[in-house]
Amino acid sequence: MLLYCTSILSRLPLRVHYRIADWILFPLIYYVLRYRRKIVDKNLCNSFPEKSEEERRQIRRAFYHEFCDIIVEIIYGYRLSAEEWKACMEFRNMDEMNRLVDAAGGGIIMFSHMGNWEWLASAQLWLSPDTTLVKVYRELKNKSFDQLMLDIRKPFGGIYVEKRRVLREMVRFRSAGMKVLLGLNSDQKPRPEVTRTWVTFLHQETGFVDGGEVLARKYNVPVFFSYLIRDRRGHYISELRLLSAHPQETEEGEITKAYARELERNIKDHPELWLWSHNRWKWKREERKVKSEE
């Protein structure tokens, strides 16, 4: 039923989707439900202490508008053809990435929760024909919605792998001789028991998961960061920035720290695009240390 409703709604013109976002979703989420308002305000206050309360309020309001746009864009994207996707997304420096991925037999692209991160999976359409995008995702607790999201993602092509199966699947892909570009949303808050790289990020000591770096060093494949811009409604630009061409020549934590620096730059340039409703700083370093020792 959920997929059927999504299929019907996806046929509406994009301008109608945005009217739904502006006239229905935004008032409901922002004014009525006040969805995660306390978390958003806390994150903005701690991340931008140099900004005035009014400046942070403007970012907050712009973020909720972007959040509502993402909801309707995901539904709208269900029916799009390859050519229509190319009108919605633009990937810059793709030729360089394809060249390095071809030479190394694989690669890693580190995404973030900037803008419509779901649409970034359309990168498969720009890759070399023999390269497969493997996008890592986190399974949702609600099985119906989890299956719905997988069905919505199918038109992108590529392969989706639940994060707990990444290592096992990467071994299988490599054994089969597949050329894989692994896509990771690397700005998730880390689990307490996982080893982390710590950096000062948006004025806060922040732990980052290092799975992308670990895999890059293991297979010595190039690593890219997706710097995301929304130049207009319904159109995103992903600028692919090289973090490391030869990861095995880097120091431990170097790639993860480079990712954190690029992400911070992306957020400061376009603060409304980041997912501020995510409880990113839920745990402190000391708490994580205690939990990892239990």
Q: What's the per-residue H, E or C state across 29-75?
A: HHHHCCCCHHHHHHHHHHHCCCCCHHHHHHHHHHHHHHHHHHHHHHH
Quote the percentage of the chain above a pLDDT of 90: 70
Q: Which residue, among 237, 179, 239, 182, has the nearest Cα to 212 in the 3D structure?
A: 182
What's the pLDDT band for 149 if we cut at 50, 70, 90? low
What number is the average pLDDT over the span 94-100?
96
Q: What is the pLDDT of residues 224-234, one digit of tens each?
A: 999 999 999 99
pLDDT above 60: residue 152: yes
Q: Which amino acid is at 31?
A: Y
83 in Cβ contact with 155 (< 8 Å): no
pLDDT digits (tens, 9 = 90+) for 268-277: 999 999 999 9
Predicted confidence at residue 9, as pLDDT, reads: 79
Q: Residue 139 has what pLDDT?
A: 75
CB 76 within 8 A of CB 287: no
Q: Contact at 8 Å (CB) between 266 and 112?
A: yes
pTM: 0.92
CA 112 to chain centre: 3
What mean pLDDT is predicted for residues 162-180? 91
**240 pLDDT band (50/70/90 cuts)?**
very high
CB under 8 Å to 59, separation ≥6 — which residues? 44, 48, 51, 271, 272, 276
Say how far apart CA 188 and CA 199 lie, in whole Å.
14
C-alpha–C-alpha distance, residues 253 and 48, integer Å: 25
Residue 171 has pLDDT above 60, yes or no: yes
The C-alpha atoms of residue 101 and residue 93 are separated, in whole angstroms, by 12
pLDDT in tens, 110-129: 999 999 998 998 899 999 99
**pLDDT (tens digit per residue) in 126-142:** 999 999 999 988 776 76
Residue 288 has pLDDT above 60, yes or no: no
Cα 240–chain centre separation:
13
Q: What residue segments make up the domains of the chain, in order of their start?
A: 2-280
Indicate whether 47 pLDDT > 80: yes
Higher pLDDT, 292 or 185: 185
Find the length of the chain: 294
d(CA 212, CA 170): 12
The tokens for 235 are: 């159109």
Share of the chain above pLDDT 70, in %: 87
> In this structure, what is the dihedral angle of CA atoms 200, 202, 206, 208, given to the nearest 10 degrees?
-100
Residue 150 has pLDDT above 70, yes or no: no
2-16, 40-54, 99-113, 156-170: least confidently modelled range: 2-16
User: What confidence category does residue 291 fall into, taking pLDDT thresholds of 50, 70 and 90?
Assistant: very low
Query: Phi/psi zone of residue 106: left (φ > 0), alpha (ψ -120 to 50 degrees), beta?
Result: left
